[in-house]
Structure 1
Amino acid sequence: MSIWGRFGEFISRVTSGAISGVADVVEAVRTAFEGDPELRRKVAFSIAMIALSAKMAKADGIVTQDEIRAFHEIFSVPREQERNVARLYDLATADTAGFEAYAERMAGLCGSGERNCRMLEDILDGLFHIAKADGYLHEREVAFLHRVAEIFAIDERRFDGILARHAVRPADDPYAVLGVTRDTPFETVRRRYRELVAENHPDRLIARGVPEEFLAIANDRAAAINIAYEAIERGRVSA
């Protein structure tokens, strides 16, 4: 059965029972897929993106067609599973629990349970992709994303790098994209660049549980990293 088949089966089962919100759905993932960590990561990623994007839309106050398109760039949802995705989205929108509660549960569910696994950064990156789709990143969205990053234990340097990659700060700061400063020795810059390239290799992304559609976004991320490194290298050589 495909990941979406398992996702739909799981959502249908848990939402037809006595649950009070998405936090209960997340907790159910822990037990339902306890014997299959890989499937648990994939289902957890999907639930995190759907639930947190719903909460982010509520913070912004409006869902645009551009944001819907951006969501479908991350997920190619089979027609027969659209109802289950909508069910989870509506549950998150109506849930009185704040998004912090979701983010906390997601952080504890990530991978093998470590606080700052790379999948959390992928989730944050996907939320940025959706937030900026309408061509404008609202202050409330930035505050939302920053708070999610704090809960995910993503430090300021890495958060600033994601901000810079998505061009919500002066886009021509290659140092911010790589998460280094202008006085960082070039060997350290090169090492940091190689770390980021390795972290974003498609095989590693798939292993972290992201859907195949997300690789297109990851390619944009990799391109931004390469452009930033090349700009720094040119600047250091000509200096």
Structure 2
Amino acid sequence: MSIWTRIAEALSALAKGEPLSVVFDRLLRAPAPEQSVGFTIAVLALGAKMAKADGTVTRDEVTAFRRIFTFPEGEEAHAAHVFDLARQDIAGFDAYARKIARLFNPEGQRICADDHHVLVDILEALFQIAIADGSYHAGEDAFLAHVADEFGLDEACFRIVRSRLVEGAPRDPYDVLGLPRDASKEAARKAWKDLVRDTHPDVMQARGVPPEAMKLAERRMQLINEAWREISTKEAA
């Protein structure tokens, strides 16, 4: 059974007029919430809310999901349906962000830049949706900063994710690897290897990232490797 079929089942109550936000409450009350379903609903719901962050709603955001998720034939309609329902739901995006944070971080711990977590994966997915139309607006930046704060991600983590994904954003190789500027080459090598390991599909799936979303790692891996090459080359010069 595909994740999209499970999502469709989880959202069946919507046909009776219940808001999408109710789904998160049910996931939270479940003995063992399905993390892959929660991850996907989180990206779809917050992505839909973010569609209005730049003042213009386009279908580019829906197209962006195709860059993040692999849709089996016939499942595209389920994703588009959830996207449209989230845009119509009266719950604000901060309410969604808090529900998602409780789902994946129930103890409310602060998550640091070097503590890779499913909430960081969700934030990276939202960044990819934000830049789907070829630009990155101030409204989207403010939206994502607020979401990161609701998730419990520190400011350094937000800057690192932004530097990895937004063209033209300040990008320092040490930031990409989550290191201070004075880190040694040995520390940089260790951070690079740790990030490569954390980006492995098996590790990501264990964090709750569904197999359908493994495209999420491609951009991150590219920039992680570029950062290490830049640092190692500079150190060797």
TM-score by length of structure 1 reads 0.86
Which residue does 1:3 correspond to in 2? 3
Which residue does 1:24 correspond to in 2? 22
Q: Secondary structure at the match of 2:44?
A: helix
Confirm whether residue 228 of structure 1 aligns to residue 227 of structure 2. yes
Partner deviation per Cα, 1:178-233 (whole Å, 9 max, x = no partner): 12232222332222222212221111112222233422230221121011011011
Query: Which structure shows the higher helix fraction?
Result: 1
Partner deviation per Cα, 1:32-78 (whole Å, 9 max, x = no partner): x534x4xx101101110110001000222324344322111222344
190-199 or 113-122: which moved more?
Answer: 113-122
Which residue does 1:192 correspond to in 2? 191
**C-alpha separation in 1, matches of 2:60 and 2:89:** 24
Which residue does 2:86 correspond to in 1? 92
Listed as ranges, the matches of 1:76-115 within 5 Å are 76-78=70-72, 80-110=74-104, 115=109
Q: Secondary structure at the match of 2:53?
A: helix
**C-alpha separation in 2, matches of 1:6 and 1:170:** 37
Partner deviation per Cα, 1:77-122 (whole Å, 9 max, x = no partner): 4465444434432332122321111010001111776644711111
User: Aligned pairs, how many?
Assistant: 232
**C-alpha separation in 2, matches of 1:41 and 1:217:** 16
The runs of 5 or more residues in structure 1 that have no matched partner are: none
Q: Cα gap change, 1:152/1:118 in structure 2, threshold over 3 Å: closer, same or farther?
A: same
**C-alpha separation in 1, matches of 2:80 and 2:2:** 19
The runs of 5 or more residues in structure 2 that have no matched partner are: none
Which residue does 1:74 correspond to in 2? 68
Which residue does 1:61 correspond to in 2? 55
Report if the CA contact (8 A) 1:51-1:92 is conserved: yes
Which residue does 1:34 correspond to in 2? 31
Counting aligned pairs with the same residue, the percent is: 41
Q: Cα gap change, 1:46/1:170 in structure 2, threshold over 3 Å: closer, same or farther?
A: closer
Q: Cα gap change, 1:24/1:104 in structure 2, threshold over 3 Å: closer, same or farther?
A: same
TM-score by length of structure 2 reads 0.87
